[in-house]
């Protein structure tokens, strides 16, 4: 209402008009426009179908909707992109979840004989959420995020992406789609044939290979490393060490208050070292975390030689190694990725689809290009309101001329680069599927 009054007093511009148009839309209306004009049905269908002609991968895929009245509907399935679009426009779900590919169409589940309805394939998925970092971040808590704490997510993406992607590293997957979850986290969809075929044990094994942070709030020390360090941990450590100073010490100032430094000191099993540092910091509490970290490094170094005991070189180097391990454990505990293991471990677990609109932020759950993890800024991700506004603006300035190619609506908005990246990603997935199909055909011809 307020903006309407302003409009009547001032000369109206198209900007104001379009803003006013967007402002008066209800959330539900915005969602409907999004599903009508922006949702990238074609690449989305190709992605989940893994081919251009219809396959079971799409037909037997479970979708679940959270309807505007908070009713949750499971086991939906659709013939093709068109049927999906019609259903989205009819129900206008606030959230779409993607589940597994089943032995039969999920919507026919109720007609299926007992035990015949089973999940057979799904992307391996990983879910990382900033709420799991609440004990180590202090800039924000719960649902809030800022660029400072988003860095935790950046570190997580970099470490996990390295471990999973490419022939040079551990698992050798190719098709990893990172998606912003719309508020305070990211999802990763690993779409390789091999990943989609993993059973629950395979999923659990990978996730436990990645997971380092163990134990709940009742357990202070959550990381235990043993020497020699596994190559994947050695590599992860280099990344952790690279970010640690800026992220943990400068941005989060993890040792600013007695309460917070006591917490960190609990990761050091030796009481003598803890006491020395505690004493020092109690007299100079204002030293910032970077200085306190230097103190800690110094204390660890001093502790190699025990007071009053003459130790051999060999013992000394063993002790130095053990103390170095403690340092790494602390660094891991503060910034190594924290995963929601349950989401990954079960083939039939549901996960929010890319290109949903987050119900409270209004942001689009956009894919994050892997060459740009570092620069991804969640606060700059377009909201449904922004893109509707951008589209109206563009349409005003570019009246339709006959004979001209009709542009897709997303191309008129800041959603464009994200859809473009998604299309490229899907093309790569399709290409791989084609190669695999041809190889299979060749094999049967040979026989």
* Residue positions annotated with a catalytic role: 62, 127, 129
Residues 271 to 300: which contact other proteins by CB under 8 A?
A: none
Tell me which of 41, 75, 229, 394 binds other proteins, using CB under 8 A: 229
Residue 173 in the binding site for other proteins (CB under 8 A):
yes
At residue 330, what are phi and psi to the nearest 5 degrees? -65, -45
CA separation for the pair 241, 175 (Å, rounded) = 27
Q: For residue 49, give both structure tokens.
A: 């179908």
Residue number, 68 or 202, with CB nearest to other proteins: 202
The distance of closest approach from Cβ of residue 230 to other proteins in the complex, given in angstroms and rounded to an integer, is: 5
Nearer to other proteins, 173 or 376 (CB): 173
**Pick from 70, 142, 168, 445: which binds other proteins (CB under 8 A)?**
168
In three-state form (DSSP H/G/I as H, E/B as E, the rest C), the secondary structure along 142-182 is CCCCCHHHHHHHHHHHHHHHHHHECCCCCCCECCEEEEECC
Stretch that binds other proteins, among 12-20, 127-135, 194-202, 321-329 (CB under 8 A): 194-202
List the one residue from 201, 259, 271, 374 that touches other proteins (CB under 8 A): 201
Assess 422 for contact with other proteins (CB under 8 A): no
Both tokens of 310, joined, read 């003459």
319 touches other proteins (CB under 8 A): no
CB of 233 to other proteins, least distance (A): 8
Phi/psi at 95 (5° precision): -150, 140
Instruction: Kindly determine how many residues on this chain lie close enough to bind other proteins according to the rule CB under 8 A.
Output: 26
Q: Give the phi and the psi of residue 127 in degrees, each rounded to 5.
A: -125, 125
Residue placing its CB nearer to other proteins in the complex, 169 or 373: 169
113 binds other proteins per the rule CB under 8 A? no
Q: Does 209 bind other proteins (CB under 8 A)?
A: yes
Closer by beta carbon to other proteins, 192 or else 390: 192
- Our CB check for other proteins shows the closer of 80 and 199 to be 199
C-beta of 438: minimal distance to other proteins in Å?
A: 21
3-class DSSP assignment, residue 116: coil
User: Does 238 interact with other proteins (rule: CB under 8 A)?
Assistant: no
Q: Which stretch binds other proteins (CB under 8 A): 164-172, 278-286, 294-302, 365-373?
A: 164-172
Residue whose C-alpha is closest to residue 175's, from 188, 185, 159, 157 = 188
Q: Contact with other proteins (CB under 8 A): which of 15, 234, 411, 424? A: 234
Residue 320, phi then psi, degrees to nearest 5? -60, -40
How many of the other CB atoms lie within 10 Å of CB of 445?
Answer: 7
- Residue 346: count of CB within 10 angstroms of its CB: 16
Phi, psi of 73 (to 5 degrees): -115, 115
CB of 192 to other proteins, least distance (A): 9
Kindly state the smallest distance separating residue 395's Cβ from other proteins, in Å.
48
Dist. CA 305–CA 331, nearest whole Å: 23
Q: Is 194 in the site for other proteins (CB under 8 A)?
A: yes
Query: What's phi and psi for 77, nearest 5 deg?
Result: -150, 155
Is 153 or 159 the residue whose CB approaches other proteins more closely?
Answer: 159
* 206 near other proteins, judged by CB under 8 A: yes
How many CB atoms neighbour CB 111 within 10 A? 9
417 membership: H or E segment, kind and range:
helix 416-446
Residue 115 interacting with other proteins (CB under 8 A): yes
- As measured in angstroms, the least distance from the Cβ of 374 to other proteins is 25
Query: Who's near 84: CB < 8 A, 6+ residues apart?
Result: 41, 44, 45, 63, 78
169 binds other proteins (CB under 8 A): yes
The β-bridge relationship of strands 119-121 and 176-180 is: unpaired
Q: Is 228 in the site for other proteins (CB under 8 A)?
A: yes
Given 110, 142, 167, 443, the residue binding other proteins (CB under 8 A):
167
Q: What CA–CA distances, in Å, run from 376 to 205, 251, 367? A: 30, 18, 10
Nearest to 122 by CA among 344, 339, 438, 340: 344
Cβ of residue 216: shortest distance to other proteins, in angstroms? 9
Tokens for 394?
Answer: 């563009």
């Amino acid at each position: 209402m307020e903006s309407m009054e302003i409009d009547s007093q001032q000369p109206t511009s198209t900007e104001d008009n379009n803003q006013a148009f967007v402002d008066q839309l209800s959330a539900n209306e915005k969602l409907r426009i999004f599903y009508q004009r922006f949702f990238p049905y074609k690449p989305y269908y190709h992605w989940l179908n893994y081919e251009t002609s219809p396959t079971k991968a799409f037909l037997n895929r479970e979708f679940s909707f959270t309807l505007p009245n908070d009713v949750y509907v499971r086991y939906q399935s659709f013939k093709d992109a068109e049927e999906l679009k019609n259903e989205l426009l009819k129900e206008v779900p606030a959230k779409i979840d993607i589940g597994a590919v089943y032995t039969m169409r999920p919507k026919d589940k109720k007609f299926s004989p007992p035990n015949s309805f089973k999940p057979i394939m799904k992307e391996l998925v990983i879910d990382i959420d900033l709420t799991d970092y609440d004990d180590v971040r202090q800039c924000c808590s719960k649902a809030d995020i800022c660029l400072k704490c988003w860095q935790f997510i950046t570190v997580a993406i970099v470490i996990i992406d390295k471990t999973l992607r490419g022939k040079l590293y551990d698992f050798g997957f190719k098709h990893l789609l990172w998606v912003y979850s719309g508020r305070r986290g990211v999802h990763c969809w690993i779409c390789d044939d091999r990943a989609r075929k993993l059973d629950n044990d395979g999923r659990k094994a990978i996730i436990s290979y990645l997971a380092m942070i163990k134990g709940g709030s009742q357990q202070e020390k959550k990381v235990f490393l043993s020497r020699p360090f596994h190559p994947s941990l050695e590599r992860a450590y280099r990344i952790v060490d690279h970010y640690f100073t800026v992220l943990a010490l400068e941005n989060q100032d993890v040792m600013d208050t007695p309460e917070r430094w006591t917490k960190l000191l609990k990761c050091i099993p030796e009481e003598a070292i803890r006491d020395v540092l505690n004493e020092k910091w109690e007299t100079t509490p204002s030293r910032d975390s970077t200085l306190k970290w230097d103190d800690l490094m110094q204390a660890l170094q001093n502790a190699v030689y025990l007071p009053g005991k003459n130790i051999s070189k060999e013992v000394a180097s063993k002790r130095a190694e053990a103390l170095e391990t403690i340092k790494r454990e602390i660094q891991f505990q503060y910034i190594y990725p924290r995963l929601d293991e349950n989401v990954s471990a079960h083939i039939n677990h549901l996960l929010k689809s890319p290109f949903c609109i987050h119900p409270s932020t209004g942001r689009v759950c956009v894919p994050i290009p892997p060459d740009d993890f570092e620069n991804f800024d969640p606060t700059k991700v377009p909201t449904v309101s922004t893109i509707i506004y951008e589209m109206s603006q563009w349409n005003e300035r570019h009246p339709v001329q006959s004979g001209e190619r009709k542009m897709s609506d997303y191309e008129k908005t800041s959603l464009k680069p994200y859809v473009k990246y998604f299309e490229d990603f899907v093309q790569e997935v399709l290409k791989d599927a084609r190669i695999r199909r041809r190889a299979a055909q060749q094999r049967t011809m040979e026989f």
